[in-house]
Amino acid sequence: MSEKTAITPATHTAPPAKFSHGVRKGNILQVAGQVGFLPAVEGQAPTPAGPTLREQTLQTLANVKAVLEEGGASWDDVMMMRVYLTDTAHFAEMNEIYNAYFAEQDLKAPSSARTTVYVGLPAGLLIEIDALAVLG
């Protein structure tokens, strides 16, 4: 049986609780919910990419991608993504940003499945995304 390996890219701070940014076991990689924090700066608290949905969505996707790559995966390996929004009014704008982002990713495989739900997040955060990838 293969071991579980915690995945934490250099761009990420330690999680605020006892969990990993990603966990890989065999050919399965689960990316924990990522938010739109800028890359970590030692000694500084995490900082959102900006106040807008666009800024936070693009940074959130970059953060998910960083965990995927650190775990040996790419967007083509992603089977399922879950998007968590704080405001139902953001759904259409998020889809536009999401679609444009993935149109630029040169995917070889079909797009992943996706679910979108509405949640509460810490003040100032508008979006969170997690992903499940199967490698090979």
Q: Which amino acid is at 20?
A: S
Q: Which amino acid is at 3?
A: E
In contact, 54 and 85? CB cutoff 8 Å: no
- The closest of 60, 57, 65, 62 to 97, measured between CA atoms, is 57
Per-residue pLDDT reduced to its tens digit, 70-123: 999 999 999 999 999 999 999 999 999 999 999 999 888 888 999 999 999 999
Q: Which helix (H) or strand (E) element contains residue 106? A: none
pLDDT tops 80 at residue 16:
no
- The closest of 28, 8, 27, 3 to 18, measured between CA atoms, is 8
Local structure of residue 2 (DSSP, 8 states): P
pLDDT tops 90 at residue 44:
no
Residue 45's pLDDT is what?
86
CA end-to-end span of the chain: 17
Per-residue pLDDT reduced to its tens digit, 48-62: 999 999 999 999 999
CA distance 47 to 40: 8
What token pair was written down for 5? 């390996």
